Amino acid sequence: MRTQVCIIGGGPSGLLLAQLLHNDGIDSVVLEKRDRAHVLARIRAGVLEQGSVELLRRAGVGARMDREGFVHAGTFLAAANRGFRIDFEARVGKSVMVYGQTEVTQDLYDARDAAGGTVIDRADRVTPWGLDSKAPAVTYLRDGREHRVTCDFVVGCDGFHGVSRTCIPPDVLREFERVYPFGWLGVLSETPPVAEELIYANHPRGFALCSMRNAGLSRYYLQVPLSEPVDAWSDHAFWDELKRRIPEDAADRLVTGPAVEKSIAPLRSYVAEPMRWGRLFLVGDAAHIVPPTGAKGLNLAFSDVHYLHEGLAAHYRDGSDAALGSYSDRALARVWKCERFSWSMTQMLHRFPDQTPFDQRMQESELAWLETSVAAQTALAENYVGLPY
């Protein structure tokens, strides 16, 4: 099979890039390792920056998001049983859209199907070849037979555990990493959200987050030690602990119910440089991971997609490779700013095992400053709604 752009990974990054390329008349093939049902069952964060919202609309996949998503003009932070609100609209004149990543991925699959796009699932042993030549190719196994896709460019949208990043020679690839000494225990429950906006809570027992998907579906998280298996948390234990960590008025209002999904995710900050090698481009989780405090993972993947789409469009439209040449630098400039924000939110809101009384006071005073300073609130709001592309 021959295509212009071979995209490895059919998560949100790969599908959005394929859709944007299709709109410009550029042909692509998406190779996804898992079956579609598995990809569509994954539960991830649910906050879209304004830039992500606009990109989805531009790609022609924003209709259901605009109908069913919730615009949030602010968020609550809580500490020491007191909450305060950061008003995004008042501080920076922008808002975010609460709409689950699972829904975004579904909308992207629907759009690819409607356009007759080629998305091959259950593609096993996907292997790129000739990435430093002018004629790269990607081979894969499906139903026991080997297939080969020849192309102009290969794009690695295959997440943190994908194959693409491993193709960059070790003497070229630089990796930067911080692994956090705790995880997030997430619960999805068919109950009304406890508040109209999100609540990020710093508590001596650990961080807690109240989020939502819609009026009847809530998403909650607790900071937990990674040594505890998810089975150690009964629904009852989860709700009990959540009530302890959020402000009393919210705990009193909280409606509990059976967990329809419960899982523990580790927290990591990670960046790989460069994001281009020869004819290979890395996008999204394949190149970088942020801890979920601040909900930047998907949004950061989408800004990569935006830069790469511009580069590929210029290549095929006017034969100019300037934007492709600057892809890695442009993407990384924004990646590092979002890494900094996600790291600082994580640092400010979690309990660390080695936290000293001094560190504790630093956290408290940072939150106290945020509560009273318009400048501090503006800085948080600017990052939360999304830095410009």
> What positions carry a catalytic annotation?
72, 200, 292, 296, 384
Q: What number of chain residues touch ligand APR (CB under 6 A)?
A: 28
Residues in the chain: 389
Interacting residue with ligand APR among 3, 7, 22, 33 (CB under 6 A) = 33
Interacting residue with ligand APR among 36, 44, 142, 243 (CB under 6 A) = 44
Q: DSSP 3-state assignment of 149?
A: strand
Structure tokens at 380: 């948080």
Q: Are 299 and 283 in contact (CB under 8 A)?
A: no
Residue 311 site contact among ligand PHB, ligand APR, none (CB < 5 to 8 Å, cut-off depends on kind): none
Residue 294 site contact among ligand APR, ligand PHB, none (CB < 5 to 8 Å, cut-off depends on kind): ligand PHB
C-alpha to C-alpha distance for 299 and 389, rounded to whole angstroms: 11
Residue 163 site contact among ligand APR, ligand PHB, none (CB < 5 to 8 Å, cut-off depends on kind): ligand APR
Closest to ligand PHB by CB, 218 vs 377, is: 218
Q: Which stretch binds ligand APR (CB under 6 A): 2-10, 77-85, 181-189, 235-243?
A: 2-10
Sites of contact with ligand PHB (CB under 6 A): 45-47, 198, 209, 211, 219, 292-295
Q: Where are the beta strands (DSSP E) in the chain?
A: 5-8, 28-31, 47-48, 70-72, 74-79, 82-87, 96-98, 118-120, 124-129, 137-142, 145-150, 153-156, 174-189, 199-202, 208-214, 217-224, 259-273, 276-277, 280-282, 288-289
Interacting residue with ligand APR among 247, 284, 291, 311 (CB under 6 A) = 284
| Partners of residue 223 on adjacent β-strands | 184
Min dist. Cβ of residue 2 to ligand APR (A): 19
* Residue 350 touching ligand APR (CB under 6 A): no
CA angle (96, 98, 102) in 5-degree steps: 130
The mark string for 306-345 relative to ligand APR (x by CB under 6 A, - otherwise) is ----------------------------------------
* Residue 9 touching ligand APR (CB under 6 A): yes
Closest among 218, 216, 198, 194 to 207, alpha carbons compared: 198
Structure tokens at 146: 């080997």
* Residue 247 touching ligand APR (CB under 6 A): no
Residue 126 site contact among ligand APR, ligand PHB, none (CB < 5 to 8 Å, cut-off depends on kind): ligand APR
Q: What are phi and psi of 45, to 5 degrees?
A: -65, 175
C-alpha to C-alpha distance for 347 and 84, rounded to whole angstroms: 19
Q: Which stretch binds ligand APR (CB under 6 A): 4-12, 203-211, 269-277, 346-354?
A: 4-12
Interacting residue with ligand APR among 12, 46, 83, 386 (CB under 6 A) = 12
Residue 193 site contact among ligand PHB, ligand APR, none (CB < 5 to 8 Å, cut-off depends on kind): none
Q: DSSP 3-state assignment of 363?
A: helix
Closest to ligand APR by CB, 139 vs 326, is: 139
Q: Are 351 and 204 in contact (CB under 8 A)?
A: yes
